[in-house]
Amino acid sequence: MIVGLGISALCAFGALIALVGVIAMALPGRPQPWPVHLMRRGASLAAAAAASIYILGLFAVLTSEHEFNNGASSVPAPACREGFDPGVVQHLSHHRSSYLPLRFDCVLDDGTFYSSDPRYASMNWMALLLALSGASLAIGAGYVTELRARKHARCRQKR
């Protein structure tokens, strides 16, 4: 668990550094061409934030998996028992965990299941949207650079 928090904190620190780089683009003396630099810094910010969120959720699932069958009062999984109605917990059969997408589902004896923590779905969506945003910004920065190079090449040919 400590390793997960450390890795997530490292990614969050990288996101903070990238955020400072994005904010620095508003100050005078910014590098030129500034839109390309802004898009690249935004892409690194989104990628670091996505990694931080995903790693935090990954280690939450790993912790829930580790707590299962590890000592007294560990079956069924503590994540499936804590905060749920005792009548529902009484019918627990087993659990299913997944790392991509993040989830830790508790399965009842009739085959139905419920999520041990509804925040896993929001973590999945946030990480996916941030990763797609970062990829879009990186592709956009490459596209702007390519357009600028083609425009510069056309200007040279006209001379």
Q: Looking at residue 38, what is its pLDDT?
A: 82
pLDDT at 1 over 60: no
DSSP label at 159?
A: -
Q: Are 99 and 60 in contact (CB under 8 A)?
A: no
| Entry pTM | 0.77
DSSP label at 77?
A: -
DSSP element (H, E) containing 93: strand 92-99
For every residue of 28-60, DSSP letters joined together read TT--SSHHHHHHHHHHHHHHHHHHHHHHHHHHH
Residue 73's pLDDT band (boundaries 50, 70, 90)? low
Per-residue model confidence as pLDDT tens digits over 19-28:
887 787 777 7
End-to-end CA distance of the chain: 63
Give the full edge-to-edge strand order of the sheet including 113-115.
92-99, 102-108, 113-115
Q: Report the pLDDT averaged over residues 126-147.
A: 93
Residue 139's pLDDT band (boundaries 50, 70, 90)? very high
Top-confidence residue, 102 or 32 = 102
Percentage of the chain modeled with pLDDT above 90: 17
